[in-house]
Structure 1
Amino acid sequence: MSTALIVIDLINDIVHPDGKLARAADAVRESGLIARCNALAARARAAGATVAMVRVAFAPDYSDLPRRSPLFGRAAELGALRDGDWGARFHEQLQIGPRDWIVTKPRVSALFDTDLEARLHAAAIRRVAICGVSTETGVQTTARDAHDRDFEVTVIGDLCASADPLRHRAALEMLATVATVADSGQIDFAAWAGDGPSASPHACAQ
């Protein structure tokens, strides 16, 4: 079964210490998340899997900003997540391959109002593995959305991060109802390419 690795929101405003919404920056730094995502993405590419780098960004005039959203509502006030600005760019340490897909989303889910689902279907991809930030928002929402669109979903728990460790753990526990929750060491893209078994379910405690 063809597989895509979906990496969520490793952009400056969210994961760089100087970002305007960087509540998870410390957790990302302390866990070495970006370097470990790079290593997993390299494994995925080597096995022939697709890598999709996803970022959230709004129009320069914020015309598509959901201003009543508790999550995004203050972005315009802070000058955050504006397409074209440094904050909406991927973190400089994130390694993006020449054939990776770049997906820009205007909401929490990577599948909402983007071309990601169409590209997955066009490439005959039915399995997605998801990592990134934040566990309880971008990762969880994308995973649940992918489940409801009939993809087989794996969430890579040790490659997710949140500003709140309790929310991180709770999100992974809840996601076990709609996805396989696995550690990165369990992910075998080569086996998946041969339609091998998925990673065994494993609740990650990080």
Structure 2
Amino acid sequence: MANAVLVVDMLRGFLEEGYPLYCGARARRIIPNVQGLLEQELAQGSRVFFLCDHHSPDDPEFKMFPPHCLEGTAEAEVIPELARYQGEVIPKRRYSAFFDTPLEEKLNQLKPEKLIICGVCTDICVLHTVADARNRDYKVEVPVDC
């Protein structure tokens, strides 16, 4: 099997102005790099998973952060620049995409050679997802500027 690409939180709520947790223009600069990565990996037969922050209105996370990426809102959608790429969307409600999601089961079935993990907020959700992937003995790659 080829690789699995985990695209973490490339969402309108983090990458478009006007939302409470907008990460800024600097974060937007990775979009073309992520596009290139997805094109390259899809051409090699890799699977893509969009791991998307997705919260209910009473989520305990809102004690630390303002309400964001509420289920069913535009804020919780993958940015339009990446919407054309074929990938499975997996909603997540915690930092790690492995917590209480079907990701691990899907990866166990897929048996990828390695996980390539990219996205915004590398110090939060990308970091926790990478740590949990390594704790599960996956080979992990985190591309620079993706």
Give TM-score, length-normalised by structure 1: 0.66
Is residue 99 of structure 2 the alignment partner of residue 112 of structure 1? yes
Which string of whole-angstrom CA distances, capped at 9 and with x for unpartnered residues, describes residues 56-81 of structure 1? 0113xx24x124753x4x31xxxx21
Q: Distance in 2 between matches of 1:55 and 1:25?
A: 18
* Uncovered stretches (5+) of structure 1, i.e. residues with no partner: 160-206
User: Which amino acid is the alignment partner of residue 25 of structure 2?
Assistant: D
Q: Distance in 1 between matches of 2:54 and 2:139?
A: 27
SS at match of 1:93: helix
- Counterpart residue number, 1:42: 39
Aligned with 2:60 (options 66, 71, 79): 66
The offset of 1:126, in angstroms, is: 4.6
Q: Distance in 1 between matches of 2:142 and 2:85?
A: 21
Give yes or no for contact 2:4–2:114 (8 Å, CA) kept in 1: yes
The offset of 1:14, in angstroms, is: 0.9
Aligned-residue CA RMSD (Å): 1.7
Aligned residues: 146
Aligned with 2:141 (options 137, 154, 179): 154
User: Cα 1:6–1:96, aligned 2, differ >3 Å: closer, same or farther?
Assistant: farther
User: Cα 1:92–1:147, aligned 2, differ >3 Å: closer, same or farther?
Assistant: same
Identity over aligned pairs, percent:
27
- Counterpart residue number, 2:26: 27
Which string of whole-angstrom CA distances, capped at 9 and with x for unpartnered residues, describes residues 148-182 of structure 1? 011111111221xxxxxxxxxxxxxxxxxxxxxxx
- Counterpart residue number, 1:17: 17
Give TM-score, length-normalised by structure 2: 0.91
- Counterpart residue number, 2:130: 143
Give yes or no for contact 2:33–2:145 (8 Å, CA) kept in 1: no
- Counterpart residue number, 2:73: 85
Q: After TM superposition, which residue ranges in structure 1, 4 or more long, deviate above 4 angstroms?
A: none
User: Cα 1:82–1:68, aligned 2, differ >3 Å: closer, same or farther?
Assistant: closer
Who wins on radius of gyration, i.e. which is larger? 1
Q: Distance in 2 between matches of 1:138 and 1:42?
A: 23
| Larger RCO, structures 1/2 (Cα 8 Å, 6+ apart) | 2
Which string of whole-angstrom CA distances, capped at 9 and with x for unpartnered residues, describes residues 126-158 of structure 1? 510111110100111110010001111111122
User: Cα 1:67–1:36, aligned 2, differ >3 Å: closer, same or farther?
Assistant: closer
